[in-house]
Structure 1
Amino acid sequence: MSQSPTRSIKCDPTNGEVKREKFELKKNFGFWSGVATVVGGLVGSGIFVSPVGVLKSVNGSIGVCLLVWVGSGLIAMMSALCYCELGASLRTSGGEVTSFHAAYGPALSFMFVWSRVLINPGNAATLQVFASYLLSPLYSDGCAPPDSAIKLIAILLLCFLIYLNCVSVKKTVNFEIAFSIIKLLAMALIATGGIVWLALGNDIGKNNFQNGFEPGPLAALTAWDVGMAIYQGNFAYSGYRFLFIICEEIKNVKKNLPRATITALFLVMMMYILVNVGYLSVLTVDEIISSKAVAVTFGKKVLGPMAFLIPLIVCLSTMGNQNGILLVTARLSFAAGRSGLMPRILSMIHVKYFSPIPALLLDFLLVSFFILLGDAKTLIDAFSFFEWTVTGLNAASVLILRRKFPYLDRPYRVPTVIPILLVCLSIYFVVLPFLRRPSFVFVFAVIFYILTLIGYYLYVVKKLRLPGSRRATIFLQKLLQCAETDWDGNEFEKEEKQL
């Protein structure tokens, strides 16, 4: 049997009654901290390191490239509006764990959370980008840091971020705010530097923008190329669902969730476009496409002796991005454990720090494994269409839940045409990789999904458990000083009972 948490006891001075403070995740996120969390999730190392995919996909057409960045941002904005309706009405942490459970049932929710938590090598890859840039000044040009040193630094950073998330949610939030400001200032530096060069009469920039829609690249451009460009550009906006995942920890979630999400997305979309304008004001198309780190190439041309700021910016941006990812990923495992879709220990939080320490430690183990594994490119490719699948299912869930739970309080409603359009776009972008680049890795992904359904049948339906799992849960609970929260169920489950 689980141990009771230590709850604060308060006395009501009006009548002398003793009240127990509810044991739950604390509401640490207001409007600005919410904006910072979304910005932190959206902006990683990609915009500074290698934004060549979009430009390469559109045959080097500068005008189409900028339009793709705008289009990707607008698609992300539409999807974010769907998440805002779901979050403001469901008001439960866990993101798609909750919305998929409500719309499609627990089986799909189980498949989603196990796919998201177990197969997530992107975190490991980003941490290794941090380590590479941190170590690069110690090695001469042409000499890459040793792989063992990169892995060691990546794991040390992971340890620091996990520790921070475990001991103080407020410090984690403040960390995210500080690093989000740094990211916005860094992007503003690149944009301003490029625009100043353009204003001073830089011939490269003039030529780029005067020939933005040059007929040559456009003539060979196909709908498939534009689709692949949007497909790649969309990944730069994939953090907009962060607040949806931590709904229970947002103050006045009905107002702050949509306001903070849309504000952050608008800021980042504008900065992404301006950063690309900055690059194109200084670098030729060939220089951008051939560069492994566009911001570094830009810095050497524009910043001169201050070019060392670029690797520093990449490191800081990566730290902030990973901090936000760890924060929200742990809430997925926490919500899944609470709903019986993952082990019960994951549904517990620390009795003093009010943080989901078991879920954070699971993240530590999995990300460390992928860091030590090394090249996770095959796994990333196998699940490259995962985001669009989730986007489509979530957009459809908006329409399904309106019919399924019509009386659920919806303080914000997205226009119906938006989820319909997103479902159509998602079908196209899920099918596109199969038609464009058929590969055995997609077969691997399908096999993994089938295995998760088998796992659902055994773990949830048949309730099979490993021998000694109950004793192990109690041992870990005592070791980590954790307990289950006072949770009275999902909003949609309450409506089901009333009906």
Structure 2
Amino acid sequence: MNEGLEKRYGLLTAIAMVVGIVIGSGVFFKAEKVLTATGGDLPTGILAWFLGGLVMVICAYNFAIMATKHEKVSGVVDYAEMLVGPKYGYFFAWFMATIYFPSMTSVVAWVSARYFGVLMGWDIVGPQVMTMAGLFLVGTYVVNALAPKLAGKLQVTTTVAKLIPLFLMAIVGTIYGMKNGVLVQNFTSGAVVEVAGNPLFTAVVGTCFAYEGWICATSINAELKDAKKNLPRALTFGSLFVVLVYMVYYIGLAGAVENEVIMAGGETGAKIAFSTVFTQAGGTLLFVFVVISCLGTLNGLMMACTRGFYAMAARNEGPTPQVFGVVDNVTKMPTNSALIGLMFAMIWLAYFYGANLAPELWFGPFCFDSSELPIVTIYAMYIPIFLMQMKKGTDFGFAQRIIAPIFGIIASGFMVLAAIVSLGKAIIFYLILFAVVMVIGIAMKNYGHNKEF
């Protein structure tokens, strides 16, 4: 194998990955879903955002504890390998490389194109938006594969840019709503439409996409300066900051327009809110920052996606590690790993369209929302790690070894329960697909290995 990855990123980039990946597409994309899931009941929606954020903070804190002791390649895979065992570590790495990273990346590429399409007046399921989604995927791949330092700088820049519309809506929207009475009306009106099932659980599952992505920051731990100190700081500060931003933004949004307007607006709901508060021109300008925000999230996810197969190859596992473990001498990037990461993201983009957007869905009962179920799966996969943290974390104090993992197990279990209650039979067909991919991964564990590698 070529020499390892370069220590090129500092604390600021790590924090920007946590904040920048999490804050972005989801807060705009899922705000309308949370309102719809709760029937427009604002207090229930805020509770859903709080519970989703609490789950993220608890899990991020546990991984921050682990990050103080373990440092190898691809953070979360390190923890799975060190605490549960090499076989589970490989299982986790394969899932991240083939399902989690590319499915999340593909969805965010579409969401970025979706809001760009709103600005341009395009149909969000039309050919223009899908073409832009593909172009966004390729563009972020090129930046990450050929200029990784530039990708890191872009992550910091877009993180700052994306906070502008969120804080402006949080502050101005709240003041605007208090003056005209919209905020009080939205808080006190209760549900404006009846909803089936459990609205709180459905809304919490919706928030899981908006809060997800923080774990991707662990994928650059091998390239992070003083990772054992900087990664825990980034996870802890970043996750707490995200919850604060989401809560105040959601309240500000409720002050802009009535809940039923956001619900009826669909993909244009956020733009209607911004235009109402900041005038048509100001709303359009701020919505440009929304698109930049989504692209920043996409860039951060692509940073993780391009390193998925390298995480296996660095351990001499997975298919042909002598190919995917190659690090380019100039860019210091695992170029082959980056290319197959793009390929998987393209496959998942095609699936997302066929399963969720096509006029006639392509995959029958195997159609599910790839922005949610892979996230619920990863929370289930955290549970064995937290259990072994309790058993093997002898270097930690009682709170870090016992209390924190127990809360991590409860938080992860809550997300799994919420998904089962709200999604029903879709989970069964997703698990079939998941099992097939995992079986292929087991078969490929030693495929094409060179003993001298």
The normalised TM-score by structure 2 is 0.85
Aligned to 2:361: none
Report the Cα offset of residue 97 of structure 1.
2.5
Change (3 A) 1:420 1:412: closer
The answer to whether structure 1 residue 458 and structure 2 residue 443 are counterparts is: yes
Residue matched to 1:356: 334
Identify if the C-alpha distance between structure 1 residues 427 and 182 changes in structure 2 by more than 3 Å, giving closer, same or farther.
same
Alpha-carbon contact 2:97-2:305 (below 8 Å) kept: yes
Query: 1:447 deviation in Å?
Result: 2.6
1:319 and 2:299 matched:
no
Matched residue, 2:137? 158
Q: CA deviation at 1:221?
A: 9.7
Match of 1:424 in 2: 410
Contact preservation (8 Å) 1:164, 1:171:
yes
Q: Distance in 1 between matches of 2:442 and 2:277?
A: 58
RMSD between aligned residues: 3.2
Where do 1:14-163 residues align within 5 Å? Answer: 23-119=3-99, 120-139=102-121, 144=123, 147-163=126-142
Q: 1:198 to 1:132 in 2, by over 3 A?
A: closer
Secondary structure at 1:447 match in 2: helix
Distance of aligned partners of 1:383 and 1:101 in 2 relative to their CA distance in 1, 3 Å threshold: farther
Larger helix percent = 2
Deviations 1:332-355 (A, max 9, x none): 321112221343122221111111
SS of aligned partner of 2:327: strand
- Are positions 1:335 and 2:321 aligned together? no
* Residue correspondence of structure 1 range 390-405 to structure 2 within 5 A: 390-401=378-389, 403-404=391-392
Once the two structures are superposed, the pairs formed by residues 224-373 of structure 1 within 5 Å of their partners are 224-292=198-266, 293-304=268-279, 305-339=281-315, 340-344=317-321, 345-372=323-350
Provide the C-alpha distance between the structure 2 equivalents of 1:392 and 1:421, rounded to a whole number of angstroms: 14
Q: Which moved more, 1:326-335 or 1:414-423?
A: 414-423
Cα 1:109/1:53, change in 2 over 3 Å: same
The SS at the match of 2:79 is helix
Identify the residue that residue 171 of structure 1 maps to in structure 2. Answer: 150
Cα 1:317–1:376, aligned 2, differ >3 Å: closer, same or farther? farther
* C-alpha spacing 1:434/1:234, structure 2 compared with 1 (3 Å): closer
Q: Deviations over 1:356-375 (max 9, x none)?
A: 21111112222223445533
**Separation of aligned partners in 1, 2:347 and 2:119:** 27
Distance, in Å, in 2 between the alignment partners of 1:418 and 1:159 is: 40
TM-score normalised by L of structure 1: 0.78
CA–CA separation in structure 2 for the residues paired with 1:59 and 1:137: 27
Structure 1 residues 382 and 172: alpha-carbon distance in aligned structure 2, compared to 1, 3 A threshold: closer
Give the CA deviation at 1:137.
Answer: 4.5
**Corresponding residue for 2:172?**
193
Q: Shift of the alpha carbon at 1:307?
A: 2.0
Letter in 2 for 1:403: K
SS in 1 for 2:388: helix
Identity of aligned residues (%): 20
Alignment correspondent of 1:497: none
| Aligned-residue offset at 1:412 | 12
> Which moves more between the two structures, 394-403 or 260-269?
394-403
More divergent stretch after superposition (322-331 vs 49-58): 49-58
**What is the distance in 1 between the residues matched to 2:332 and 2:48?**
42
1:158-183 CA deviation, whole Å, 9 max, x = no partner? Answer: 22211111222221111000000001
Please tell me whether the aligned partners of residues 124 and 367 of structure 1 are also in contact (alpha carbons under 8 angstroms).
yes
Question: Kindly tell me: are residues 318 and 435 of structure 1, through their superposed partners in 2, closer, same or farther at Cα, counting changes over 3 Å?
Answer: closer
* Structure 1 residues 383 and 73: CA distance shift in structure 2, 3 A: closer
Offset at 1:405? 6.6
Q: Take 1:370 and 1:55, find their aligned partners in 2: how far apart are those partners?
A: 27
- Check whether the contact 2:15–2:238 (CA below 8 A) recurs between aligned residues: yes
* CA shift digits 1:69-124 (9 cap, x unpaired): 22222221111011112222111222332222233334433433333333343422
Rg: which structure is higher?
Answer: 1
**Rounded Cα–Cα distance in structure 1 between residues aligned with 2:177 and 2:432:** 52
Alignment gaps of 5+ in structure 2:
357-365
- Asked if 1 retains the 8 angstrom alpha-carbon contact of 2:382 and 2:412, the reply is no
CA distance in 1, matches of 2:123, 2:137: 22
Question: Distance in 2 between the 1:146 and 1:286 partners?
Answer: 23
Letter in 2 for 1:130: S
How many residues were matched structurally?
A: 437
- Alpha carbons of 1:422 and 1:187: their partners in 2 closer, same or farther (altered >3 Å)? same
Distance change (3 Å), C-alpha of 1:270 and 1:464: closer
- Which residue identity lines up with residue 67 of structure 1 in the other structure? L
Q: Shift of the alpha carbon at 1:50?
A: 4.1
